[in-house]
Structure 1
Amino acid sequence: ELCALCGSPRRDPSQLCVVETPGDLLMMEQTLAYHGLYFVLMGRLSPLDGIGPREIGLDVMQRRLADGEVKEVIVATNFTNEGEATAHYISEMLKGRDLRITRIARGVPVGGELEYVDTGTLAQAFVERRLL
């Protein structure tokens, strides 16, 4: 069942952004940068806590993708160990499908000064740098 946001004809049905929580969805909406559909997992994989793919609705997501209307899945899980594991699981689960699978970027925040950025974030920004 689609929410009012995803049921809107103004949304781009070719993109599906996967987030962990409704709060994450609201943050994405506040950017005004994304106009596609969402899939809210209501959590993330955590095998030690008994939370597997079925508990976060990945089987439901696969059924939603079955009609072929979605062309890109944007994985926007958090950059925690569980969020990264969930992103990896989703990318592996969707391999072999005719889908573009992307992950939101991470790095130096807008307006951030390098001397105040932690080394892990700065290192990741170097790894994920792009051409100008």
Structure 2
Amino acid sequence: MNSTRDIDALIDMMARLPGLGPRSARRAVLHMIRKRSVLLAPLADHMRKVAETACECAVCGNIGTSEICDICADPKRATGQICVVEDVADLWAMERGRAFKGRYHVLGGTLSALDQIGPETLRIPQLVDRVTSEEVGEVILALNATVDGQTTAHYIADQLDGRVRLTSLAQGVPIGGELDYLDDGTISAALSARKAL
């Protein structure tokens, strides 16, 4: 009889999370067990609540606990701008910066012939519908600077051509970045997007 079977199962589940391997998962579980009244029990309660209530926003694809997320429901948000992102994690990263005051649209990934992800798999048709029905003036393509991200951006640009102003995020040298540590693609993008002082 294995007296640690449930603990081992918890470690195995934790090790499946991004950024955690078996050793990190073991340390996290051990720490939670030692602090079970202030960590483990409340964490289990919150996980149960989130499992029951988490859902995708019917408008933008964000994750929340109601049919329409807080961002889409906020009347102070600019309705004329939609920032298109690949994933909810990208939306949350944009929100951390607190610079964008418009609305979002989560695609749910990028086009990828290798992974057999076509336009119908992503939320591109919903984006086209939103641009038409919400009287959007600008769509900001905030997709990752990968081959799949750029392919997706070009596809969306073709779908929305002539309907709306299309922009993309600037790419190049990050604030505090040193040229010596940057890759060739970043330097090339920064040089191409240079501006007058």
Letter in structure 1 aligned against 2:157? S
SS of structure 1 residue aligned to 2:71: coil
1:127 alignment partner in structure 2: 192
- 1:117 corresponds to: 182
Give 1:48 deviation, angstroms: 2.3
User: Structure 2: any 5+ residue segments left out of the alignment?
Assistant: 1-57, 60-68
- The structure in which a higher percent of residues are helix is 2
Structure 2 match to 1:31? 97
For 1:48 and 1:118, the matched residues in 2 are separated by: 25
Deviates more, 1:45-54 or 1:84-93: 45-54
The 2-side partners of 1:85 and 1:119 are apart by: 20
Q: Give SS of 2:153's match.
A: helix
Q: Which runs of 5+ in 1 are unaligned?
A: none
Q: Which amino acid aligns with 1:12?
A: A
Larger radius of gyration: 2
How many residues of Structure 1 are paired with residues of Structure 2 in the alignment? 131
TM-superposed deviation, 1:68: 4.8
TM-score by length of 1: 0.94
Distance in structure 2 (CA, Å) of the matches to 1:127 and 1:93:
25
For 1:28, the aligned partner's letter is M
Equivalent in the alignment of 1:102? 167
The structure with the largest strand share of the pair is 1
Larger relative contact order (Cα-Cα within 8 Å, sequence gap ≥ 6): 1
Compared CA separation, residues 10 and 68, structure 1 to 2 (3 A): closer
Q: How far off is 1:111 after superposition?
A: 0.5
Q: CA contact under 8 A between 2:83 and 2:105: conserved in structure 1?
A: yes
RMSD (Å) for aligned C-alpha atoms = 1.1
Instruction: Tell me the amino acid that sits aligned with residue 117 of structure 1.
Output: L
- In 2, the alpha carbon distance for the partners of 1:27 and 1:67 equals 27
- State the SS of the aligned residue for 1:12: coil
- Greater mean alpha carbon deviation, residues 112-121 or residues 15-24: 112-121
Give the letter for the 1:63 counterpart: D
Query: Residue 57 of structure 1 corresponds to which residue in structure 2?
Result: 123
Matches within 5 A, 1:56-75: 56-75=122-141
Bigger shift: 33-42 or 60-69?
A: 60-69
Identity of aligned residues (%): 47
